[in-house]
A and B are shown apart, each in its own frame.
Chain A
Amino acid sequence: MADGKRMDTKTEPSGKEKPTLSLVLDELKDCVDCIHQKLGGSGADLVYFAAIVDNNALQRDLIGPLSQASPEQLAEALSGAPYSSAKDLEACISGIMNGGAAVFDGQDAYLFDIPKQVGRTIEQSETETIITGPHDGFVESLEENLGVIRKRIRSAKLKTIALEIGEISKARIVMLYVEGIVNDSFVKMLSERIGDIEIDGVADANMLVQLIDENPNSVFPQYLTTERPDAVISKLLGGRIVVILDGSPSVICAPTSFLEFFSSPDDYYQRWPIGTALRILRLIGFIITICFTAFYVSVTTFHYEMIPHAMLLNLAESRSRVPFPPLIEALLMETTIELLREAGARLPTKIGQTIGIVGGIVIGQAAVQAGFTSNILIIAVAISAIASFVIPSYIMSASLRLIRFGLIILAGVIGNLGLIMGIGLLVIHMAGVTNLGTSYLTPIAPAKFMDILDTLVRGPFWALKKRPTISRSPNPVRTKIKR
Chain B
Amino acid sequence: MKEKLNGFHVALLIYMIELDVTVFTLPRLVASEIGTNGWLGFLGLSLLAMFNIWLYRLVYKAGQGRSVFDIAESALPKALLYPFYALLALLWLSVAAFAGKSFILIFQTLTFQTSSPMLIFAVYCLLVYALLTKDLYSIVKASTVFFLLSIWMLVLSPYFFREWSLDRFTSFFFEGTKNGHSIEGILHVYTVFIGYELCMFLFPYSDAKTKLFKGVFAGHAFITFTNLLTILISFGFFSFEEVKILEFPVIHTLEFIEMPFINRVENLVFPFFLFSNLVSSVMFAFAALSGIRRMLPKVSQKKLVPPLIAVIFMLGFLPTTFRQAAKWIDISYFTETGVAFALPLVLLMLVRLGKPSKGAS
Contact = CB atoms under 8 A, between A and B. Distances in A.
Tell me if chain B binds chain A.
yes
Interface of A: 185, 302-303, 305-309, 414-421, 423-425, 427-432, 437, 439, 441, 444-447
A444 B3 CA distance: 16
Contacts of A427: 142, 145-146, 149
B145 A421 contact: no
Given A431-B142, A445-B144, A421 B123 contact: yes
B145 A307 contact: no
B123 A431 contact: no
Given A428-B138, A441-B141, A441-B144, 11 more contacts: A303-B264, A415-B111, A416-B268, A417-B111, A417-B120, A418-B123, A424-B275, A425-B127, A431-B138, A431-B142, A447-B144
Nearest to A312: B263
A414 B120 contact: yes
B3 A424 contact: no
A183 to B, nearest CB: 10
B268 A445 contact: no
A445 B9 contact: yes
Contact of B264 (A305, A414, A423, A430): A305
B9 A446 contact: yes
A446 B120 contact: no
Contact of A446 (B6, B111, B130, B142): B6
20 contacts: A302-B111, A305-B263, A305-B264, A306-B265, A306-B267, A414-B123, A415-B111, A417-B274, A420-B274, A423-B149, A428-B127, A428-B138, A431-B134, A431-B138, A431-B145, A441-B145, A445-B141, A445-B142, A445-B144, A447-B8
Contacts of B130: 425, 428-429
A452 to B, nearest CB: 11
B97 interface: no
Contacts of A418: 123
B166 to A, nearest CB: 33
B334 interface: no
Contact of B141 (A309, A417, A431): A431
Contacts of B322: none
Nearest to B130: A428
Given A302-B111, A425-B130, A428-B131, A444 B267 contact: no
Interface string B262-291: 111101100110110010000000000000
Interface string B71-82: 000000000000
Contacts of A421: 123-124, 127, 274
Interface residue SS majority, chain A: helix
A188 to B, nearest CB: 13
Contacts of A447: 6, 8-9, 144
B109 to A, nearest CB: 12
Contacts of A432: 134, 138
B139 interface: yes
Nearest to B268: A416
A414 B112 CA distance: 8
B201 interface: no
A43 to B, nearest CB: 62
B6 A417 contact: no
A424 B274 contact: yes
B308 interface: no
A416 B271 contact: yes
Complex A-B, nearest 8 residue pairs according to Cβ-Cβ distance, in ascending order: A445-B141, A431-B142, A445-B144, A420-B271, A431-B141, A431-B138, A305-B264, A432-B138
Contacts of B124: 421
B139 A431 contact: yes
A308 B141 contact: no
Contact of A416 (B3, B120, B149, B267): B267
Nearest to B1: A437
Given A416-B267, A446-B9, A428 B262 contact: no
A428 B138 CA distance: 8
Contacts of B107: 417
B155 interface: no
Contacts of B141: 431, 439, 441, 445-446
A423 B268 CA distance: 14
A218 B275 CA distance: 22
Contacts of A429: 130
Contacts of A431: 131, 134, 138-139, 141-142, 145
A285 to B, nearest CB: 18
A428 to B, nearest CB: 5
Nearest to A185: B1
A418 B260 CA distance: 25
Contacts of B272: 420
Contacts of B271: 416-417, 419-420
Contacts of B29: none
Contacts of B267: 303, 305-306, 416
B337 to A, nearest CB: 28
B261 interface: yes
A356 B275 CA distance: 41
Contacts of B134: 428, 431-432
A446 B3 contact: yes
B146 A424 contact: yes
Interface string B107-139: 100011000000010011001001100100011
